Amino acid sequence: MVHIAGIPLGDFPLLLAPMEDVSDPPFRALCKQQGADLMFTEFISVEGLIRDAHKSVQKLDIYDEERPIGVQIFGAELESMMKAAQIVEAAQPEILDINYGCPVQKVVCKLAGAGILKDIPKMVALTEAVVKSTRLPVTVKTRLGWDHSSIFIEEVAERLQDVGVQALSIHARTRSQMYKGEADWSWIAKVKNNPRIHIPIFGNGDIDSPPKRWSTETGTK
């Protein structure tokens, strides 16, 4: 049985990945009906949340039939991340998730999403601050690295675990790949099999059939 901070998710949990303009309440309800174990909202800008922007605040709408559910945020400024974490906590999801994986330029140029993969110490510092500012379990979604010359996902996993992250989802591509090529699940296997790692590790990327879902146990495809 896989647990995140005491939340039971089953033996082979299936997570609905946060997708902008896709994973809204109707879509989440459909995925829940089809067996998804854990929902996530669309990712939410912390700057939008702290400024009470309607589009951002509306994404906090969650419903009992969706639970357990996580709210995913993205940002790059420490104070904004901490304030947003408190706003998310008030919405009472089960989990607060931080996006360090979005590769689109309008996010990356602000050093948010996958942009922070260029500054791992900042990623760790932001995560630690969020963990300390909320009572919610904090999880992270990220990528292997910025490009193939800077894949530090094993070190990143250890450092995020050390500052209190309760689970880690890894999209097995680099930012430079965007959504092209094949996801390299061997890196997920390395993280999962690292003897220092005890938090749940979830694989992301190219899961488009049941056999690929079950392969998350071994980190292979």
pLDDT tens profile 30-52: 999 999 999 999 999 999 999 99
pLDDT at 218 over 70: no
pLDDT exceeding 90 applies to what percent of the chain? Answer: 90
- The residues assigned a catalytic role are 102
Structure confidence at residue 206 (pLDDT): 85
Structure confidence at residue 197 (pLDDT): 98
| Contact between residue 166 and residue 4 where contact means Cβ atoms under 8 Å apart | yes
Residue entry with tokens 């932001």: 126
List the structure tokens of 4.
């995140």
Per-residue pLDDT band at 221 (split at 50, 70, 90): very low
The conformational region for residue 120 under phi > 0 = left, psi -120 to 50 = alpha, else beta, is: alpha
Domain count for the chain, please give it.
Answer: 1
d(CA 53, CA 17): 23
What confidence tens digit (pLDDT) does each residue in 62-110 have?
Answer: 999 999 999 999 999 999 999 999 999 999 999 999 999 999 999 999 9
Give Cα separations from 179 to 18, 97, 106, 136, 160 (angstroms). Answer: 15, 21, 16, 30, 24
The Cβ-side half-sphere exposure at 147, using a 13 Å CA radius, reads 2
Residue entry with tokens 């609905």: 16
d(CA 11, CA 23): 24
Q: Which residues contact 107 (CB under 8 A, 6 or more apart)?
A: 74, 113, 114, 115
Chain centroid to CA 183: 17
Per-residue pLDDT band at 208 (split at 50, 70, 90): confident
> In the chain, count of helices (H) and strands (E)?
9, 9
Structure confidence at residue 213 (pLDDT): 54
What is the widest separation between alpha-carbon atoms in the chain?
44
Structure confidence at residue 212 (pLDDT): 62
d(CA 46, CA 127): 14
State the average pLDDT for the chain: 93
In this structure, what CATH number is given to the domain that contains residue 14?
A: 3.20.20.70
Per-residue pLDDT band at 142 (split at 50, 70, 90): very high
Range of the domain at 20: 3-217
| Contact between residue 101 and residue 74 where contact means Cβ atoms under 8 Å apart | no
End-to-end CA separation in angstroms for the chain = 22
* Residue closest to 221 by CA, chosen among 194, 192, 191, 189: 189
What confidence tens digit (pLDDT) does each residue in 7-24 have?
Answer: 999 888 999 999 999 999
